Amino acid sequence: MKQFAVIGLGTFGSRVALTLMEKGAEVIGIDVDPARVEQFKDDLTQTLALDATDEEVLARSGVLDLDAVVVAMGERMEAAILVTAILRRLGAGHVIARAASGLYAQILEDVGADRTVLIEEQMAAQVARNLIAPDVLDQITLATGHSLVEMKPRREMVGRKLGELNLRRRYNVNVVVIKKRVPVITETGESDHELRVNDIPGPEDRLEDNDILVVVGRDEDIEKLSTGK
């Protein structure tokens, strides 16, 4: 079982911690505010009210031998930088830190963060992408300039076969999965739908209105596909 620590139980940190718990991990939640620690004591494996900027206290907290430590102190960037530096000096494994800006992200990486998360910038970019391409449901950045997205087929794509659409040639993208909502009858005789995944889509697969396509490609090519331009 994987084990993590989340330092800072604000909106971002608590959501990370709770999601990790939902996925079956063990999580130590740490915050300087006893009220926040009390709030999540029944939801996390362990909660600690302590000042993570105190090196001796942090060293005794049990976070150094975990799979990763998430520094989620976005509103207290000076403290986040200090905690990240202390974790690196103490020999913590993988350190992920939330950053309030690109400058802070660079500083956090300089002092020892293995990865930084720019929530505000990422959310702003996601909002802009959704306004430009509302059919894109979700997006995961794979590498610089490349993404994996879930999107609905455009109206003119519905009812046509993948081979007929020839998306690889026209847009330089690959459809790697098609998710379909299929009508079913439950054990109680009620009508319902279930999600079925076609993870080897072929040229004869015909797209339907409720399908979800999982597409891989360059960001600019995916945008062209989603907008039809």
Task: Tell me the pTM.
Answer: 0.63
Average pLDDT of the segment spanning 105-109: 92
Report the domain count for the chain: 2
Claim to verify: residue 127 and residue 113 sit in the same structural domain = no
- 28: domain CATH number is 3.40.50.720
Q: Which two tokens stand for residue 183?
A: 């009508």
Look at residue 226 in the predicted model and tell me its pLDDT. 87
- The residue out of 65, 89, 117 marking a domain boundary is 117
Look at residue 228 in the predicted model and tell me its pLDDT. 79
Q: Are 42 and 24 in contact (CB under 8 A)?
A: no
pLDDT tens-place string over residues 149-173: 899 999 999 999 999 999 999 999 9
Claim to verify: residue 70 and residue 156 sit in the same structural domain = no
Secondary structure of residue 205 in the 3-state scheme: coil
Claim to verify: residue 127 and residue 87 sit in the same structural domain = no
Domain of 39 in residue numbering reads as 3-117
- The residue out of 85, 117, 149 marking a domain boundary is 117
Comparing 65 with 143, the larger pLDDT belongs to 65
DSSP-assigned letters across all residues of 120-143: HHHHHHHHHHHHH-TTEEEEEEEE
- 208: domain CATH number is 3.30.70.1450
CA 27 to chain centre: 18
Claim to verify: residue 173 and residue 104 sit in the same structural domain = no
Claim to verify: residue 146 and residue 80 sit in the same structural domain = no
Claim to verify: residue 209 and residue 157 sit in the same structural domain = yes
pLDDT tens-place string over residues 27-55: 999 999 999 999 999 999 999 999 999 99
Claim to verify: residue 188 and residue 99 sit in the same structural domain = no
Distances (CA, A) of 183 to 160, 192, 196: 20, 6, 10
pLDDT tens-place string over residues 117-151: 887 766 666 666 666 666 667 777 776 788 888 99
List phi, psi (to 5°) of 2: -75, 150
Residue 18 has pLDDT above 80, yes or no: yes
Least confident of 16-20, 30-34, 110-114, 133-137: 133-137
DSSP-assigned letters across all residues of 171-190: HS-EEEEEEEEEEEE-TTS-
